[in-house]
C-alpha cells in the first residue's frame, strides 16, 4: 500500500490526450468517386452551422425530435440545441444534486431515446429519460488501484446500452503493459468483459518521493503509434491496427474479419508537426486527469478535463518524438448509419482533416476530407456532425450531408 505520512497519497495520475479538427468547408456535398482507391473527396460545405461557440465538444447526440445534445465540460453545461433555429437551452445545472452535474463531458445514446451523460466532476454516469429528466446514476470507477482499477469512462455505447471503455493498465506499482483491453461494462453492476485487445501508445513514467510517500504519473509520448477502436450498434468491435494499417472487425460471436493492408505515405515529424501537435491539445479541452486518493483506508477517485493546450512556442524538444507520424490517430473510431468505420488519418501539418472509411469486410471504400482542424464527432439521422475550432480555439458545431 502506498501512503504518505498524512495517509493521503496520489496513487496514480493519467492524462488521456485527444485531438480535434476544424470545419468551415466550401463547395458542394461529397459526390462521385468516394476515393476508395486512395484518392479523397471533400465533404463540401455544412448544411447548417450553429452560431454560438462551446469550450469543448466530445460528442453530439441527435435525438428523435431533431434536437441535438452537447455536453460542454469547459463551459460546465449540458445543452439541447436546435441547429436550424440557432438556439440552445441548458438542461440541468451545476452542482452535486440529483439534477445537477459538475463537469458534463459527453452524451451517448441509450435505448428508448434516452441518454447517458458522463459527469466527470461528480465521477458518475447519469441516465436521462426521453423528456431529459435525470434518472439513475452509476460510478465511473470500481475496484482497487493496487490490484486493478476499472475506469468506466465511456468511449462507446452499443444499442443495448452497454458501455465500452479501455483498460488503464495494471495495478499500482506494476509495469505498464504494451497492450490494453477493450472492456464491455454493464451499467449499474459494472460487470466487465474483455472483448478485444489493442496496442497502447507509448508513455513516459515519472516517479517522485519514495517509500510511503511516492507519486507516479504517466503521460503519452506525442504522436506515438497506437491502435484505434470503435463499437457498432450490435456490439461488434472495429480495430485499426497501426503495425501495417489494416482494419479488422470482431463480431459479437467472436469471429474476426481482417481487411487488407492500406498503403499510406509516412509523414516525417518536423517542427511544424510538433507545433501543430502542441496546439491540438486544446481542441477537446485538454486531457482527462484521473486521481486516486487514499485517506485513512478510504479510497476516492476523482476525474476532470481541462488544462488547455500546450504553448506552441514552448520547448518542444523536451519531449521524446518518433521519427514519423503513425498512419492514423488513436482516437475512437466512429461508425456511420451505413455501418462503415471512419478512421482519421495523420497528414502533413496544415493539410485537410482526412478520414478513411471501411466496410464490414475491412476494405477501404472511401476517403473524405474536411477543412484543417475539423473532426467528426457523431452521426445522426440528419447527417454528419463536425466540431471545428477558430483561431481562439473555440469549438463550433456543424452538420454535413451524409455521403453515400
pLDDT per residue over 27-86, tens digit each?
344 444 566 665 899 999 999 999 999 999 999 999 999 999 999 999 999 999 999 999
| Range name among 19-33, 247-261, 357-371 with the lowest pLDDT average | 19-33
Residue that wins the pLDDT comparison between 358 and 303: 358
Q: Which three cell numbers stand for residue 76?
A: 460546465
- Residue 31 phi/psi, 5-degree rounding, is -155, 170
pLDDT exceeds 70 at position 25: no
pLDDT, average across residues 238-265: 96
pLDDT at 6: 31
Q: Produce one character per residue of 62-81: b if its CB has 16 or more CB atoms within 10 Å, e if not.
A: bbeeebbbbbbbbbbbbbbb
- More confident call, 3 vs 289: 289
Question: What are the boundaries of each domain within the chain?
Answer: 8-400
For the chain, counts of helices (H) and of strands (E): 1, 34
* pLDDT at residue 177 in the model: 75
Q: pLDDT tens digit string along 276-333?
A: 998 887 777 777 777 777 666 666 778 888 765 555 556 888 888 999 999 999 999 9
Average pLDDT over residues 186-197: 85
Closest listed residue to residue 333, CA positions, set 158, 118, 166, 155: 155
CA distance 378 to 335: 8
Contact of 143 with 135, CB cutoff 8 Å: no
User: Which pLDDT does position 207 carry in this prediction?
Assistant: 76
Q: What is the mean pLDDT of the chain?
A: 84
Return the pLDDT at 34: 67
Question: What's the confidence (pLDDT) of residue 291?
Answer: 74
Q: Which of 111-120, 137-146, 332-341 is predicted with the least confidence, judged by mean pLDDT?
A: 137-146
- Name the pLDDT band for 188 (thresholds 50, 70, 90): low
Q: Supply the pLDDT for residue 312.
A: 54
Using the predicted structure, report yes or no on whether residue 269 has a pLDDT greater than 80: yes
Cα three-residue angle 148-150-155, rounded to 5 degrees: 145
Grid cell, residue 91, equals 438542461
Residue whose C-alpha cell reads 504517466 in the numeric block: 218
Cell numbers linked to 296: 485513512
Q: Tell me: pLDDT of 385 over 90.
A: yes
The owner of cell 468547408 is 25
Identity of the highest mean pLDDT range in 186-200, 213-227, 259-273: 259-273
Q: 83-124, pLDDT tens digit by residue? A: 999 999 999 999 999 899 999 999 999 999 999 999 999 999
| Statement: residue 21 has pLDDT above 90 | no
Taking only the tens place, the pLDDT of each residue in 201-233 is 988 877 777 655 666 666 779 999 999 999 999
pLDDT reading at 366 higher than 80: yes
DSSP string, 221-247: PTT----EEEE-TTS-EEEEETTTTEE
The CATH superfamily holding the domain 8-400 is: TolB, C-terminal domain (2.120.10.30)
pLDDT at 13 over 50: no
pLDDT over 70 percentage in the chain:
80
Q: Mean per-residue pLDDT for 358-377?
A: 97
- Residue 37's pLDDT is what? 62
Q: What is the pLDDT of residue 296?
A: 66
Burial of 401 (0-12, 13-18, 19+ CB in 10 A): middle
Amino acid at each position: 500500500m502506498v501512503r504518505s505520512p498524512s495517509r493521503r497519497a496520489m496513487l496514480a495520475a493519467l492524462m488521456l490526450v485527444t485531438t480535434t479538427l476544424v470545419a468551415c468547408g466550401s463547395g458542394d456535398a461529397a459526390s462521385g468517386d468516394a476515393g476508395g482507391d486512395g484518392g479523397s473527396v471533400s465533404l463540401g460545405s455544412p448544411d447548417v452551422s450553429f452560431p454560438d461557440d462551446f469550450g469543448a465538444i466530445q460528442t453530439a447526440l441527435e435525438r428523435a425530435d431533431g434536437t441535438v445534445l452537447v455536453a460542454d465540460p469547459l463551459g460546465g453545461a449540458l445543452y439541447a440545441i436546435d441547429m436550424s433555429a440557432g438556439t440552445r437551452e441548458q438542461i440541468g445545472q451545476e452542482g452535486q444534486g440529483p439534477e445537477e452535474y459538475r463537469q458534463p463531458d459527453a452524451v451517448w445514446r441509450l435505448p428508448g431515446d434516452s441518454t447517458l451523460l458522463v459527469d466527470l466532476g461528480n465521477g458518475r454516469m447519469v441516465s436521462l429519460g426521453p423528456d431529459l429528466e435525470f434518472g439513475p446514476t452509476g460510478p465511473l470507477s470500481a475496484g482497487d488501484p493496487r490490484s486493478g482499477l476499472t475506469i468506466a469512462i465511456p468511449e462507446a455505447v452499443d444499442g443495448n446500452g452497454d458501455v465500452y471503455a479501455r483498460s488503464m493498465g495494471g495495478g499500482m506499482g506494476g509495469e505498464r503493459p504494451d497492450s490494453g483491453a477493450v472492456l464491455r461494462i454493464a451499467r449499474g453492476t459494472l460487470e466487465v468483459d474483455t472483448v478485444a485487445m489493442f496496442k497502447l501508445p507509448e508513455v513516459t513514467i515519472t516517479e517522485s518521493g519514495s517509500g510511503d510517500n511516492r507519486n507516479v504519473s504517466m503521460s503519452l509520448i506525442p504522436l506515438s503509434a497506437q491502435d484505434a477502436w470503435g463499437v457498432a450498434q450490435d456490439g461488434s468491435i472495429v480495430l485499426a491496427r497501426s503495425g501495417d494499417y489494416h482494419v479488422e472487425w470482431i463480431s459479437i460471436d467472436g469471429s474476426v474479419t481482417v481487411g487488407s493492408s492500406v498503403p499510406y505515405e509516412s509523414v516525417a515529424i518536423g517542427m511544424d508537426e510538433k507545433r501543430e501537435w502542441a496546439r491540438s491539445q486544446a481542441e477537446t479541452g485538454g486531457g482527462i486527469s484521473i486521481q486516486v486518493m487514499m485517506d485513512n483506508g478510504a479510497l476516492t477517485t476523482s476525474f476532470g478535463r481541462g488544462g488547455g493546450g500546450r504553448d506552441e512556442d514552448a520547448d518542444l524538444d523536451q519531449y521524446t518524438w518518433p521519427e514519423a507520424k503513425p498512419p492514423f490517430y488513436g482516437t475512437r473510431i466512429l461508425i456511420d448509419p451505413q455501418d462503415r468505420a471512419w478512421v482519421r488519418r495523420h497528414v502533413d501539418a496544415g493539410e485537410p482533416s482526412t478520414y478513411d472509411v471501411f466496410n464490414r469486410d475491412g476494405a477501404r471504400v472511401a476517403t473524405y476530407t474536411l477543412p484543417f482542424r475539423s473532426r467528426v464527432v457523431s452521426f445522426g439521422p440528419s447527417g454528419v456532425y463536425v466540431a471545428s475550432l477558430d483561431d481562439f480555439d473555440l469549438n463550433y458545431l456543424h452538420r454535413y450531408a451524409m455521403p453515400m
